[in-house]
């Protein structure tokens, strides 16, 4: 029996008492992970499928080897081995269909102006770049999907570097809560369309680049056309349907996909290029359940974290455009800002990948919302849909002689931002352990920030046999809009 260190990522730590490392004893990976789930039962459904096998959206490494290259769950452990559990994480910007046509750019032989020679002089001094390299950058086209936390530094550094055409895909407007990390925008931009504000900032930084705005949602119907106009793609999305869409489109088009994702204090980065290495599906064949990894809006994120990860993405993009150095193809870079530590794990091409292997079975784009278990804005139950209650209707019921039990399923950190008086506080991750506290209530109304997590919590209670359960439509932010405008929206 070997004593082993199991490293847990941020999305799973809340289910393990906050522990980032757990010391366990076992002969095999499977034994150790089962012991982990026995010690922390809430982890079980995230680590194991119903048949008892490890889930496909969780990649497990022993030291620096993916267990899929070894004996999988039967991989033997020795004293001192480190078992790392690496789940797919989201984080970046909400994604944003057809975009303007980009005409061919013939700039290779156009001489640089005196002003441009001054602007790029620090590049020109580098033998690895020089004038020829700077011309390559000027003739290059890069698409950034998501103009948020990751897309902001990537766009700015690509513009500063002189990349000739930069495409941005996004359809949101700037919100005050964006300013903590999305450095493309200023206070004066709040309320403006993101791409309008981003265009002004990028062109203000470097009038010599061209910004192409795709102010729409990326879908299976337009992804190949939009991505096809660029040399490479930077993935700055914060949701799994768009992440898999970007990956699959890049594989089908034969384009590099510069990947980045963030979660609270942790970040990941890599380059997926199926022509010479693995794709995203090789690492994560399937996505996690929609309720496992919340977005930055729900979980929070250290403001400087996307700055670092987005800058790494910009660095990789420039290296790829210049054929410079060694890229992150085949390597997953992990960063923990709380400990200021970088780790690197190898990624190998999956010979059974349904998309990029020799025996691929997927030949086109699919319905990614369905693939990721997100059929739409409605969270479905076995009987239909999770019942919702509007903020004004809840206000009236709370004022009645027989009010419902109001349960706040947000994380404790959110309680200090805003709250509804009289609510019982039970974080959603702890709800399975606290159901006894709800027994006997005539009616239960759950709420979170936006209504997504409370709908999932209501689904859980319905599955456990509770019959009179509702979710507050729009969450506490909708309550602030319709009932109590003194509350802070976030």
Catalytic residue list: 296, 448
The CA-atom distances, in angstroms, between 355 and each of 6, 44, 367, 471 are 31, 29, 15, 38
DSSP states of 276-307 as a string?
A: TS--HHHH-SSPPPTTTS--HHHH-B-TTHHH
Taking the C-alpha atoms of residue 251 and residue 278, their distance in angstroms, rounded to an integer, is: 10
Separation of CA 298 from chain center? 12
Taking the C-alpha atoms of residue 167 and residue 229, their distance in angstroms, rounded to an integer, is: 9
Helix, strand, coil percentages in the chain from 3-state DSSP, rounded to 5: 35, 20, 45
User: What is the residue whose two structure tokens read 């925008």?
Assistant: 185
Taking the C-alpha atoms of residue 412 and residue 470, their distance in angstroms, rounded to an integer, is: 21
Of 255, 432, 426, 286, nearest in space to 370 by CA: 286
Neighbours of 192 (CB within 10 A): 15
Instruction: Tell me the β-bridge partners of 210.
Output: 165
């Amino acid at each position: 029996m070997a004593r082993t260190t199991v490293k847990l990522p941020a999305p799973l730590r809340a289910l393990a008492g906050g522990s980032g490392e757990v010391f366990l004893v076992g002969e095999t990976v499977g034994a150790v992970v089962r012991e982990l789930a026995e010690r922390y039962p809430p982890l079980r459904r995230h680590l194991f499928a119903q048949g008892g096998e490890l889930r496909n959206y969780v990649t497990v490494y022993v030291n620096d080897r993916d267990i899929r290259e070894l004996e999988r769950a039967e991989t033997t452990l020795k004293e001192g081995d480190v078992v790392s559990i690496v789940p797919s994480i989201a984080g970046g910007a909400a994604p944003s269909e057809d975009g303007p046509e980009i005409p061919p750019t013939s700039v290779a032989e156009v001489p640089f102006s005196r002003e441009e020679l001054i602007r790029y002089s620090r590049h020109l001094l580098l033998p690895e770049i020089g004038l020829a390299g700077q011309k390559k950058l000027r003739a290059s086209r890069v698409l950034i999907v998501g103009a948020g936390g990751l897309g902001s530094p990537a766009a700015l550094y690509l513009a500063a570097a002189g990349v000739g055409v930069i495409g941005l895909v996004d359809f949101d407007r700037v919100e005050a809560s964006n300013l903590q990390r999305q450095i493309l925008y200023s206070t004066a931009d709040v309320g403006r369309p993101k791409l309008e504000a981003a265009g002004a900032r990028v062109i203000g930084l470097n009038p010599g680049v061209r910004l192409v705005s795709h102010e729409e949602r990326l879908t299976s119907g337009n992804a190949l056309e939009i991505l096809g106009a660029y040399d490479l793609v930077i993935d700055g999305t914060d949701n799994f349907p768009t992440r898999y869409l970007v990956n699959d489109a890049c594989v089908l088009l034969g384009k590099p996909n510069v990947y980045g994702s963030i979660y609270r204090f942790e970040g990941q980065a890599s380059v997926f290029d199926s022509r010479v290495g693995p794709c995203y599906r090789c690492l994560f064949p399937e996505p996690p359940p929609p309720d496992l990894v919340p977005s930055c809006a729900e979980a929070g994120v250290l403001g400087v974290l996307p700055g670092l990860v987005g800058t790494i993405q910009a660095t990789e993009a420039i290296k790829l455009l210049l054929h410079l150095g060694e890229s992150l193809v085949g390597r997953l870079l992990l960063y923990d800002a709380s400990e200021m530590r970088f780790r690197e794990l190898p990624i190998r091409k999956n010979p059974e990948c349904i998309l990029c292997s020799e025996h691929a079975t997927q030949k086109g784009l699919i319905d990614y919302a369905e693939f990721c278990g997100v059929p739409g804005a409605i969270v479905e139950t076995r009987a239909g849909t999770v019942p919702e209650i509007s903020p004004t209707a809840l206000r009236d019921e709370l004022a009645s002689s027989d009010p419902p039990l109001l349960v706040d399923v947000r994380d404790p950190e959110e309680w200090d931002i805003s709250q509804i008086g009289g609510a019982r506080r039970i974080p959603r991750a702890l709800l399975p352990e606290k159901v006894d506290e709800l027994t006997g209530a005539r009616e239960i109304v759950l709420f979170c920030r936006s209504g997504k997590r409370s709908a999932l919590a209501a689904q859980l209670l319905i599955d456990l046999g509770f019959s009179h359960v509702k979710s507050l439509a729009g969450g506490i932010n909708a309550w602030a809009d319709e009932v109590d405008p003194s509350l802070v929206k976030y």
